[in-house]
Amino acid sequence: MRASGKDSDITVGAQVVYRGCMAVVKYQGPLHHASGSWVGVQFADAAEGRNDGSTGGKKYFDGAPNRCLFVRPGNVVPMASSSGGHQSAFSQWQVFDAVSEGEFLKTNELGQTAENIIRSVSGHKLLPKLALKEPGPDYKGPRFSFKDDKTTEEEVNNLTTYLKAPATEPAKKPVHPYYICELLDRTSTLLRKQVTSAVHSLEVPEQGTLVLCGDTHGQLEDLLWVFFKHGPPAPDRVYLMNGDMADRGEQAVEVIAVLCAYKLLYPTSVYMNKGNHEDRLMNLRYGFHEEVRSKYPRHYQSVFDRFQHFFFGLPLATTIGKQVFVVHAGLCRKPVRLNLLDSLDYKRAIPDAPKSNLHDLIFYDLLWSDPQTCPGVGPNPRGGDTISFGPDVTQKFLAMNSLGLVIRSHQVPETVDSAGFPRGFSWHHPFPSDSKVKPLCKAQPGMCLTVFSASNYTGTNANMGGVVLFKGSVGNIEILEHYAQDVSYLYEVEKETADATEKFRAIASHEKAAREKMLTKAVGLMRYQALGELQSMIVRKKQDLFDWFWAMDSDKDLHLKPELWREGCASVLSEDLPWLDIQESLQVVDGSSKLVQYPSFLSRFQIRFRNKMGLHGGFRRAITDRCYQMLLMSDLSMRETFAVLDRNDDGLVSIHEFNEVLSSLGTGMTKPQLQALMKTIVVHGCHPGAGGKLKIEDFLSRLQLKYSSTHAKCATVAQEWVPTFLNKVAKDILQVVQKNAKRAEEMVLQSTAPIGYLTEFFNGCDLDKNGYLEQMEFIRALRVLPCCKNLTEEQLNQLASYCDIDENGRINYLEFLHTFHVEDSSGSELSEDVLEYVYRVLHFEFTQPMRRAFHALGEVGGKVTAMQFQNVIETVNSLTTPSPLGKDQIQCLVDTLSLDDSGRLDFEDYLGSFEIVDILLDEER
């Protein structure tokens, strides 16, 4: 987020971040062809722009071709290098990261239930392993013979050299899936022989070193950097990876492949603990599944399953020299002895939401907990069922198990260096004066140590990476840090010189320079990332925010004092964010009134469906049409009910009364959706000075059934009269269906899945019930309409032909909707809010459970049929109380799916089509 909300903070010559890219401000001011203030930037690293400093036919500054862009001031973030700025940005980043994981954990229980139901209904069986063939001569990547189930030193060196080579090298492709699967399978077999319990035991080589690494998260550069600085695995050099090798980064496949290759070369020199990201559900959410899918599109499901099988075999913890307990996250909420941990069934998925099962609780805590400064067990900012453990918990665990140190990973360390930037390690829980635990060495300041090996985590944090070295014994501990750069740099250094001393000097110099350069960018990058997370949080909680603001709005004039706005955001979103800074950053306070117009603030952040291939978009029109039809269908009943409520005959009712009426009339919308609709009704329907009351007629008169000219095809000369005449047809359709008001009312009240006016009319015309209106069926229906009684046979044929958009002699339901639709005469706000509600449900509540359920089907290629899609979304919807989507809405989603030639859709593509936008800043020129 920006350091300040003033445009003057962004000056010409300033370094800024825009959409994650570094740029320099070259212009600030107005544009002759666009309103408001603009900033012209030139990108530093790549051709991310669209122009050379010119827009709208006018030159504003001299810039490089296709490297410049004009954007809104609020969408650029100034860079800073101060420690205070970094600490503030890093603190906000941590809050958003914890919130993201917490929301993920909340959906897990729903996803587990949905997955179980789909498995039982579909009779799912695990897919057989797909037999992959060894590649032919065209494959130029590394190969393995696997003689005696081992690798050779030459093969491992070929692998690492290949991975270090620049991506521009000829024929540089991912390692062949055959070798990936063989490495995983053979390493899994080896692990089953070596690791026989949940807690594995290691010793430090007497004449060697044990190197302990924390999270690497798919950052191959860190793993290879560590290998270069401290030496790769060898008979006298043992590596222990403390989990979270997968997700977040882009090269987890390669990280694990390298570790497996070394494991098969030196079986007693590489070991790995399970982290919370060595888990299928986390992989589906945080990137590893997509990484496998993008690298091996033809075989990704088989490859992904091999990785999951491999993860199952990893232990939950490791002891070193019977004195150090190494676990990915932390300790349990209940005191446990090592023999109980040893007995855990660890060859399974991480429990979703442990309740009372002790073994599940222990399993969960070992992979999710964090240390805290205060004593005891407390709630964890990550949310869900996660806990934090205090120094007394650590001391008790160490004492009862005769241990001297807990080493864990799981989070970027909070310790900062002299410049204020995160380090690669952090000590916790100092020894109390009466400690029952003895330190392993004089240099041990605490009972718990965090080590994190992914430097510059996610490309934004500028943190150091750390490793722990045990030299000869557990009492000889050394913590070393690094700052990794692209692996291609290692490739060049190794190619240019064989002298180890010169290599180390070169890499040390480059390491320092690279980090110093990153420090100037880190604040801007983290603020930009935080801005995106904030927007997502606002959209997710938009209804809760509106409810809070409306309740505090005593005048019901849709304005609040800034301090109330900040209080509401803290209460609903997070109390750990600097809301005064955010208020200035987002410029939410009106300059003249000094108040926050909260509907405008909420409407500013939106979720949209933007499929990259333009698929599945038909549901937008279908859902809003269906919603409008339902409301229009209830028009008569609403008028009668409101007349009873409007005792003083002023045409006004309260918002609460209006909501109750809509809920009781079977409008086809769910209770949560009706509540979400109140925002639109309040903002656009409340009568000024009426204390938040709604003028009934303003709402009821806004919906009209009309001919849809925006979706029309070109009329022939003979059909020129048709488009205008179709408005009369639309009005007559409505009158015909409304003839028997009592029957319509009974249908609305009794139906469990109400249908709209257009649906009823269409079904009534479809005499042979084949789902289409043959031309004669449509003409027969037109004849009964008053406006058509005097038309000739030729004119009726012209009407029918015009409505047949694809000219195949019959009209399907979507063509019918394209011809007639219910229109909101007051604007698009109602339809936008209806759609946004559906988007929010699909993206925030349903994506993770649906993804789990789809994978439970075991469909090869990640594609499902429309029927499978419907079964999954109906299952997830039914498990949520109250159900957020109506049956008609789900049917609209299903009916408008874009299927391939085999009748299937790519569900990952569908679920990934939602994006959050700030409509005030979503402009570029």
Report the catalytic residues.
277
Q: Which of 253, 281, 248 is nearest to 111 (CA)?
A: 281
Question: Rounded to the nearest 5°, which phi and psi values hold at 559?
Answer: -130, 145
Report the C-alpha gap between 29 and 38 in whole angstroms. 5
**Residue 121 CB neighbour total at 10 angstroms:** 13
- Taking the mean position of all CA atoms in its chain, how far away is CA 66? 30
Say if residues 40 and 53 touch (Cβ distance below 8 Å): yes
For 509-641, strand residue ranges (E) read: 559-560, 596-597, 605-609
**Largest Cα–Cα separation, the chain:** 104
Residue labelled with tokens 């849709």: 558
Report the C-alpha gap between 154 and 140 in whole angstroms. 16
Say if residues 869 and 851 touch (Cβ distance below 8 Å): no
548: Cβ–Cβ under 8 A, 6 or more apart, which residues?
Answer: 568, 571, 572
Q: Which of 735, 709, 744 is nearest to 823 (CA)?
A: 709
803: Cβ–Cβ under 8 A, 6 or more apart, which residues?
Answer: 778, 811, 815, 816, 819
Determine the 3-state secondary structure of 679 from DSSP: helix
What six digits make up the tokens of 91?
Answer: 């603190």
Question: Rounded to the nearest 5°, which phi and psi values hold at 346?
Answer: -95, -10
Report the C-alpha gap between 144 and 156 in whole angstroms. 8
What six digits make up the tokens of 809?
Answer: 């002699």
Determine the 3-state secondary structure of 477 from DSSP: strand
Say if residues 540 and 836 touch (Cβ distance below 8 Å): no
> How buried is 409 (Cβ within 10 angstroms: 0-12 exposed, 13-18 middle, 19+ buried)?
buried
Report the C-alpha gap between 878 and 688 in whole angstroms. 40
Sign (positive or negative) of CA dihedral 215, 221, 223, 225: negative
With residue 694 as reference, give the H or E element that holds it: strand 694-695
What six digits make up the tokens of 607?
Answer: 């979720």
Say if residues 92 and 1 touch (Cβ distance below 8 Å): yes
- How many alpha carbons fall within 13 Å on the CB side of residue 207? 3
What are the Cα distances from residue 30, in Å, to 25, 366, 585, 923?
14, 56, 20, 14
Residue labelled with tokens 């409509």: 919
**How, if at all, do strands 465-471 and 270-272 pair?**
unpaired
Report the C-alpha gap between 347 and 314 in whole angstroms. 8
